[in-house]
Chains A and B, each alone.
Chain A
Amino acid sequence: MIGVDFELTTEHRLIQQTVRDFATREVGPVAAELDRTSRFPRELIARAADLGLMGVMVPEAYGGSGLDTIAYLIAIEEIASACASTAVVISVNNSLICDPLLRHGSEDLKRRYLPGLATGRLLGCYCLTEPQAGSDAANVQTQARREGDHWVLTGTKIFVTNGVEADVCIVYARTDQEPGARGISAFVVEKEWPGVTVGKVEKKLGIRASSTCEIVLEQCRVPADHLLGERARGFRVALSTLDGGRLGIAAQAVGLARAALEISAAYAAQRHQFGRPIAEFQAVQWMLADMATRTDAARLLMHRAAVLRDRGRPYTKEAAMAKLFASETAMWAAHKAVQIHGGYGYIQDYPVERFFRDAKITEIYEGTSEIQRLVIARHVLGMH
């Protein structure tokens, strides 16, 4: 009989319970303070690494946890429900660094970097975006010039998550003077190498405990064997990486939406106006009902994409749908959460104020909502 199973496996449930315990006991209690001080959650990342959260899908042979995409998304959702900043630090390391290294890296690169990245000894960052290459990611201007057995990289990357603390960067640069996507290659660059510096550190609306900065490359010499994937095929590496990355952001958004719902439901049950809990008013009930429905729908879209990915099937459209719907749900749910809390939702005494600020970025990074719609539309129209 053909059926659709919406139940998590025992292992997935236990992973969920374990990460939820970690998020509740250790992440949640410090999330507001991390946000207020814009402090990188170093101790939490070390603990996350102990549990195996920094390389969830990295095989055990390379020091990872050897789990599947669903397990990874469950973990990110749980962390994000407590702290969206901590979730994105973990998500970037997993989706944007470990994953492309695993899929496109040489055996030597994998052995050199994955064990450190998966165990928290190293942290990764992803250097794609440039001032003139945001949604138009193929417009990368960073240049890579061949000199003997090295490539020499020069250019400026912006909006690099984890950039301040990272040890390993995946950098996209133009190795060939072909137009658009065709001349781009991907490199693995150590941040300590001469010619790599941290530029401006951004002050942000939300996810303030994760760093976002410029990474400036000035005549940075990168060994030729640090090319990730084939020369001039870097844009394919970028796109396939972003498919997985989008699921990580979808999970972050679902975690945020769920937290907004749970906290709003609890608040509505205890907040009295006109002599009764506001949860008894239909206006509030409808908001909670819609938050719950959209959050569930977002999670189901995300898990469907994850199942396709784990089966080795194409999932670009499904990942874009999950990311689009989950991020817009997070923003919408945070908006409603503030509304349910009224004036208390607008002040920092309640976490929904932070959720509101944190949620916005999910509609922007790793592909804006407009880019997700573009990807989906191209699939619908057979134009991909």
Chain B
Amino acid sequence: MDIIVCLKQVVDPELPQTEFAIEPATGRQVREGRPLVISTYDENALEVALQLKDRGGGKVTVLTLGPQAVISDAFRLALAMGADEMVVVDDPRGPDRLGGEKAAILAAAIRRIGRFDLVLTGCESADWTERVVAPVLAEALSAACVTFVSRVEAADGTLMVRRMADEGFHRVEVRLPAVLSVASDESNRPRLPKLKDILAAKRKPVHVWPVADMPAAPGDLAAGVEVREVVIPQRTTRCEFLEGESAEQAAALAQRLRDLKLL
């Protein structure tokens, strides 16, 4: 099975809150000087792809959109983990594009890659959390789409997938080609590469395609969404002392929590 995994590079979400900053004029997140990593669920998607390859063979291509100059070491690790090749769509504006635009460009890149059976993305990115790339990609590629997939099994030309649902999961049979967005699960915890594969990754092919060469229709690039303002929520804490004996305090506390709809 030929699988394409879309990986997004984001500022490390584990950084302390004080490292998170937004440029007031543009509303873009400050990335300069911050460590960049592969977005959390994208690593789970890569692991799903590698497991499918381990079981049934095929090829895994990782695809990313962003400024080639700052593609981080993390992508070398993706190759070391077992991906066969990497395609970078060199796009200085990449990190600031909204999901619909991104999906249109990624779809053009996937058409250029050519053959594929399955496209995997993370179920949401660690920065914008839009959750739109997989459905828009599926539409653009005329492929089936299932979101929030936790497990995937190949079954005779189709896939049996487990889709997360409230208080349980759906089992869904999916025809190929398909686009799946992957959620984390104990079965798709990203593997660690072997040390020798870290060296070998240097020899794997990395293709860099300028974004201008991606024939996305201008209409596809219209996001349909306008970002008016980006702000960091200001958290404040307030302390309230409840008067009275313990029993009265407990009753008052319960009432306050009910008023706040926390109980």
- A15 and B198 in contact, given A10-B73, A10-B76 (Cβ under 8 angstroms): yes
Chain B: how many interface residues by the 8 Å CB criterion? 12
Partner pick for A67 among B80, B192, B196, CB 8 A cutoff:
B196
Residue pair B194, A50 in contact (C-beta under 8 Å): yes
Residue pair B192, A65 in contact (C-beta under 8 Å): no
Bound together, the chains give a CA A19 to CA B198 distance in angstroms of 12
- A18 and B77 in contact, given A65-B194, A65-B195 (Cβ under 8 angstroms): yes
- Shortest A185–chain B CB gap in Å is 33
- B154 lies within 8 A of chain A by Cβ: no
Residue pair A71, B195 in contact (C-beta under 8 Å): yes
Residue pair A67, B73 in contact (C-beta under 8 Å): no
- A51 and B76 in contact, given A11-B199, A14-B198, A15-B198 (Cβ under 8 angstroms): no
The 8 A CB mask of B186-204 against A (1 = contact, 0 = none) is 0000001111101100100
Chain A residues with Cβ below 8 Å from B194 are 50-52, 65
Chain A residues with Cβ below 8 Å from B193 are 14, 18, 51
- Shortest A4–chain B CB gap in Å is 22
Q: Chain B: which residue is nearest A67 at the CB level?
A: B195
Residue pair A14, B196 in contact (C-beta under 8 Å): no
The 8 A CB mask of B44-82 against A (1 = contact, 0 = none) is 000000000000000000000000000001001100100
- A14 and B192 in contact, given A66-B199, A67-B199 (Cβ under 8 angstroms): no
Q: Chain A: which residue is nearest B198 at the CB level?
A: A14
Residue pair B192, A18 in contact (C-beta under 8 Å): yes
Bound together, the chains give a CA A53 to CA B76 distance in angstroms of 19
Partner pick for B195 among A13, A21, A75, CB 8 A cutoff:
A75
Which residues of A, 1-51, contact B by the 8 Å Cβ criterion? Answer: 10-11, 13-15, 17-19, 21-22, 50-51
| Interface hub of B73, B80, B193, B196 (most chain A Cβ within 10 A) | B196
- Shortest B243–chain A CB gap in Å is 27
- A11 and B198 in contact, given A17-B73, A17-B77, A18-B77 (Cβ under 8 angstroms): yes
| Interface hub of A52, A53, A56 (most chain B Cβ within 10 A) | A52
Residue pair A15, B195 in contact (C-beta under 8 Å): yes
- A60 lies within 8 A of chain B by Cβ: yes
Q: Chain B: which residue is nearest A72 at the CB level?
A: B195
Residue pair A51, B77 in contact (C-beta under 8 Å): no
Residue pair B73, A13 in contact (C-beta under 8 Å): yes
Bound together, the chains give a CA A51 to CA B198 distance in angstroms of 10
Chain A residues with Cβ below 8 Å from B192 are 18, 21-22, 51
Chain A residues with Cβ below 8 Å from B80 are 14, 18
Residue pair B196, A66 in contact (C-beta under 8 Å): yes
Residue pair A60, B196 in contact (C-beta under 8 Å): yes
The 9 closest A-B pairs by CB, nearest first: A52-B195, A65-B195, A65-B196, A52-B194, A14-B198, A52-B196, A18-B192, A14-B73, A51-B194
24 A–B contacts, CB within 8 A, in A order: A11-B198, A11-B202, A14-B73, A14-B77, A14-B198, A17-B73, A17-B77, A18-B192, A18-B195, A19-B195, A22-B192, A51-B192, A51-B193, A51-B194, A51-B195, A52-B194, A52-B195, A52-B196, A53-B195, A65-B196, A66-B199, A67-B195, A67-B196, A71-B195
